A and B are shown apart, each in its own frame.
Chain A
Amino acid sequence: AQTVTQSQPEMSVQEAETVTLSCTYDTSESDYYLFWYKQPPSRQMILVIRQEAYKQQNATENRFSVNFQKAAKSFSLKISDSQLGDAAMYFCAYRSAGATNKLIFGTGTLLAVQP
């Protein structure tokens, strides 16, 4: 069974600085998708970024980028120029590329942004 591990329960960053959130996963599959979701205090789950395992190029979305290391099964999220609105819980998630459509989530990292 696949598992997703986020080893940092809480992180803090100064406004305008850069922070990296860690995620590792375990799978025997070769084709899959990885995601980072943001959950602000409003509870709404928002997709931040997505990475296809078959793509070697790291995904980027504006200030958000990932460092995808397939061999190491690592998928970290880098937030550049942190803003107060980035404060939220961040979840890493895995989904098989096969028939199943399940998202498997990590336990989350609570990010605080200090002004």
Chain B
Amino acid sequence: DAGVIQSPRHEVTEMGQEVTLRCKPISGHDYLFWYRQTMMRGLELLIYFNNNVPIDDSGMPEDRFSAKMPNASFSTLKIQPSEPRDSAVYFCASSRGSYNEQFFGPGTRLTVL
């Protein structure tokens, strides 16, 4: 079975540009999570969905960040406008049920110049 798929793997953009990160969870998983990893803050949960509905977005840093899950097999995390401090590795993870293991994707390394 394919794992969690994220695209792109690397993204370099300039400050002020819109960035869209994509995630395809494992088929049959009903929970989807977006995490951000930085040297300063470590790994932090941004938002998570259950059955395509956002449940907790308290980790989203500011209004420039938005996430959607239009269907069970696709989610996006958008940053508009991007800033250099958004440079990080963004992970998507999915799980079947709330008590089971979260499987992580390979991450997207975002660099904002």
When the two chains form their complex, are residues A91 and B104 in contact, meaning their CB atoms are under 8 A apart? no
When the two chains form their complex, are residues B45 and A108 in contact, meaning their CB atoms are under 8 A apart? no
Instruction: Give the number of residues in B that approach A within 8 Å (Cβ atoms).
Output: 23
Instruction: Give the number of residues in A that approach B within 8 Å (Cβ atoms).
Output: 20
Q: Which of A45, A106, A107 contacts B91 (CB 8 A)?
A: A45
Judged by DSSP, the binding face of A is: loop
Residue of A nearest to B106 (CB): A44
Q: Which residues of A contact B91 (CB under 8 A)?
A: 45
Q: Which residues of A contact B42 (CB under 8 A)?
A: 105-108
Which listed segment binds B: A17-25, A80-88, A95-103?
A95-103
A11 at the interface (CB under 8 A from B): no
- Given A97-B99, A101-B48, output 5 extra A-B contacts at Cβ < 8 Å: A43-B107, A47-B102, A99-B98, A101-B33, A101-B50
